[in-house]
Amino acid sequence: MDKTQTTIQITGMTCAACATRIEKGLNRMEGVEANVNLALERASVSYDPLMVDDAKLEQKIIDLGYGAIKLTGDSDEDAGEYKKQEIRRLKQRFTVSLLLSLPLLWAMAGHFSFTSFLPVPELFMNGWFQLALAAPVQFIIGWHFYIGAYKALRNGSANMDVLVVLGTSAAFFYSLYGTLEALGASGHGAHEVELYYETSAVLITLIVLGKLLEALAKGRSSEAIKTLMGLQAQTAIVIRDGAELRVDIMEVVAGDVLIVKPGEKIPVDGIMLEGATTVDESMLTGESMPVEKRQGDSLIGATINKNGVLRMQAEKVGKQTALAQIIRVVEEAQGSKAPIQRVADRISGIFVPIVTVLAAIAFLVWYFIVEPGDVANALEKAIAVLVIACPCALGLATPTSIMAGSGRAAELGVLFKGGEHLESTHHVDTIVLDKTGTITKGKPELTDVRVGTGFDEARLLGLVGAAERNSEHPVAEALVAGIAARSIDMPAAQSFEAVPGYGIEAQVDGQQLLVGTRRLMEKHGISIQSVIQEQQELEAEGKTVMLIAVDGRYAGLVAVADTVKESSAAAVESLKKMGLDVIMITGDNERTANAIASLVGIDRVLAEVLPEQKAKAVQELQAEGRKVAMVGDGMNDAPALVAADIGMAIGGGTDVAIEAADITLMRGDLSSIADAIRMSRLTMANIKQNLFWALAYNVIGIPIAAAGFLAPWLAGAAMALSSVSVVLNALRLQRMK
């Protein structure tokens, strides 16, 4: 049975260990496959509805100690509102915590020789005063750390909260013990006892600040989705009962006739019924040049009508529109895991227990060996080790880069269907390009007209157009379109007959007309010896040539060709400069294929390959040790797209194009291939930078803290900055040009 997909917003996660524990808990449920993304704070779940349901999934997350919000419709807005509220709560907690911690920090400054010039009020040195300030920070501001630690330990694991609670509680309760001991010894408040209230309070303040900065930065990393959602029109003008009504976009249904005025966004996907205009489709394709639209052309929702009032019929609304599909693909990509993240997941799963042991060892070494009997000093070193080792940065290293990279790629018209594709694309060394619709426009056009002696070009083309209007052959359609574009009148044909394999015979304006191959001319005894060389030269350029005879006499020829896209040659050159091998594959004959390949600078051609043989051709290239990206139109190339290491579909947001491949190139030109590969390379470099620095903070920081060169409050600051720096580094991907 097909599995059901759902997305759940998770609240209360603090680090990678939380995400790992929830993922493991969900995956232990029968019939469930889950992926938890720390950066998005979401679980993407695939489950068997006969074995489990949404309620059980949410309950499992709650049982593990976290909150769950299923994302459907308005609940997605609820999740967004929750994040805003969480940022407000963090700001409030940080403000209160900072105000309470500042006097403690001031008192601590008085202990250093280089700050001895600062006047420290006597009250600030009083142990009871310090206790009064530190207790609210420890047990009110920091209470959620205790809850998180309890839930983690109850479930047999450990997370960042455990490290924070161990470190701050040790400092607080040791200071409390010292305060009470001083009271018993002197009968009044503690003044001379060495206290560490500022350590616990400042640590919690810094951790809350780090979480606030992290939340703000993570909000920026999901800007791509917000931007895409903001592109949609909010209202539409609908014709109902003969009247024009402006309604909410959610009230538009398929079949509605809509009016779109100049400068307005096209509300939904549909077909143009009346009008002539140009449409800015840059939001969909990244292409800045407006596209001309006429009756019968397709229109995409959220694109902008530049000039002219148009009337359209709605075909796809709501979740079925191209924009909605793009948003879905980007969300899935951002929520998925790249294979490289498994490294971070494995490390974070065992990280906290290892750090706890290291902190205990540091305490014992200092207490028994370095400075025997000095509990306070040994405790300070252990606290520093606990705090600096929080694995937040490690958990954020990969998902934030995936979010930023896939979001920016979508803005450039490149849709990655998952993090694994964003990662594996950078391994590609060979690009296989389908010819028709990929290198070429995929639509034949009238390219050449050669008129015989004694014939008028306009009159001859009018006769040809009149005859070919009766044919449904693609070449006939190209001829008629090309003649119509020249504003030539086409009279009605009195008779018409298609001769399969030869061409057409027709009677137009009392004249007998033949349009077709050399064999058709020879069949009717038309002399064409003088034009055979001319015909062969045109065919060598990859063009289809049709000879014309009027009343038994050769009158001229016309040629049609599937013309090369303007961007193809430059795109191929760009791919070669990136060190990639570019190969063209086509079902055309070798002469035509080589003609097209030479125009765009491709040296290797696989010609006369049937659609069902393209997948085998890709596999043969893979057998040579190549990492192959197949680029096609997403329909007849589907087997080859699946067979390739990476399948790229050239498309305009259609269902087939998006579903057929690992990557959809929305712009429809080959320059997007280079964009996709560059984005993959940049994202992977960014992930490796993040993982390096996340691990380096701990590999370098833990020994320094254990050796006594790092005060606990400095360790807390370093830990907070490590998470923020990883997120900010990932955000650099959003500036890729």
pLDDT tier for residue 116 given thresholds of 50, 70 and 90:
low
pLDDT band at 191 (very low <50, low <70, confident <90, very high): very low
Tokens of 416: 């990655």
Report whether pLDDT(303) > 50. Answer: yes
Minimal CA–CA distance to 5: which of 29, 35, 28, 38?
A: 35
Distances in whole angstroms, Cα of residue 360 to Cα of each of 363, 384, 714: 5, 11, 20
Rounded mean pLDDT, 588-605: 86
Q: List pLDDT tens digits, range 710-722.
A: 777 677 667 667 7
Spatial neighbors of 447 by CB under 8 A, at least 6 apart, are 543, 559, 560, 561, 563
* Backbone φ, ψ for residue 310 (5° rounding): -130, 150
Task: Dig out the tokens for 122 from the structure.
Answer: 């006597």
Contact yes or no for 267/314 (Cβ under 8 A): yes
> Locate tokens 């579909």: which residue?
649
135 C-beta neighbours (distance < 10 Å), count: 16
Q: How far apart are CA 214 and CA 236, in angstroms?
A: 39
Residue 152: pLDDT above 90? no
Mean pLDDT of 111-130: 73
3-state secondary structure 378-399: HHHHHHHHHHHCCCHHHHHHHH
**348 vs 395: CA distance, rounded Å:** 7
Indicate the range of 258-267, 393-402, 533-542, 572-581 predicted with least confidence: 393-402
Structure tokens given for 195? 């206290």
Helix residue spans in 550-654 (DSSP H): 568-577, 590-600, 611-623, 638-643
Which residues have C-beta within 8 Å of that of residue 641, sequence separation ≥ 6? 630, 632, 634, 647, 648, 649, 660, 661, 662
* Other CB atoms within 10 Å distance of the CB of residue 72: 10
Contacts of 469 (CB under 8 A, 6+ apart): 476, 480, 490, 493
Q: State the DSSP string of 449-490.
A: EEE-TT--HHHHHHHHHHHHTT--SHHHHHHHHHHHHTT---
Assess whether pLDDT exceeds 90 at residue 218: no
- Whether 701 contacts 388, CB under 8 Å: yes
Question: Quick one: tokens of 366?
Answer: 């200092």
Both tokens assigned to 211: 């979480």
CA atoms within 13 A on the CB side of 539: 16
Kind and range of the H or E element at 348? helix 341-365
Closest CA to 697 of 404, 401, 385, 382: 385
Q: What pLDDT does residue 277 have?
A: 87
DSSP per position, 187-214: SS--SSS---HHHHHHHHHHHHHHHHHH
- Residue 608 is given by DSSP the state S
Determine the pLDDT at residue 131: 92
| Residue 210 amino acid letter | G
* Arithmetic mean of pLDDT, 556-571: 89
pLDDT band at 403 (very low <50, low <70, confident <90, very high): confident
Taking CA atoms, 97 is separated from 134, 150, 207, 264, 347, in Å, by 9, 22, 11, 49, 32
> Based on C-alpha coordinates, what's the Rg of the chain?
35
pLDDT of residue 75: 45
**One-letter amino acid for residue 158 of the chain:** A
Q: What angle do CA 6, 8, 10 make, to 5 degrees?
A: 165
pLDDT digits (tens, 9 = 90+) for 63-94: 888 888 876 654 455 556 667 788 899 899 99
Quote the mean pLDDT of the chain: 83
Q: Which two tokens stand for residue 734?
A: 């959003």
Find out whether 302 and 265 touch, Cβ atoms under 8 Å: yes
Note the pLDDT of residue 190.
42
427's CB contacts (< 8 A; 6+ apart) are: 627, 645
* Whole-angstrom distance, CA of residue 4 vs CA of residue 55: 13
Q: Which residue(s) pair with 549 in the sheet?
A: 514, 554
Residue pLDDT, tens place only, 414-468:
888 878 888 899 999 999 998 877 888 877 889 999 998 889 999 999 999 999 8
Residues paired with residue 235 on neighbouring β-strands, in sequence order: 248
User: In Å, how far are 242, 306, 504 from 262, measured between CA atoms?
Assistant: 21, 5, 44
Residue percentage of the chain with pLDDT more than 70: 86
Of 148-152, 407-411, 564-568, 654-658, give the range with the top mean pLDDT: 564-568
Most confident of 146-155, 524-533, 605-614, 673-682: 673-682
In the prediction, which pLDDT does 582 show? 96
3-state helix, strand, coil in the chain (%, to 5): 55, 20, 25
Mean pLDDT of 260-273: 92
Q: pLDDT grade, residue 622 (50/70/90)?
A: very high
Catalytic residues: 434
pLDDT score for 652: 52
pLDDT at position 229 = 67
Output DSSP code: residue 139: I
Higher pLDDT, 360 or 346: 360
Contact 212, 187 (CB under 8 A): no
**Does an H or E element contain 681, and which?**
helix 671-706
Identify which of 332, 399, 341, 430 has the alpha carbon closest to the alpha carbon of residue 664. Answer: 332
Of the candidates 378, 370, 268, the residue with the CA atom closest to the CA atom of residue 318: 268
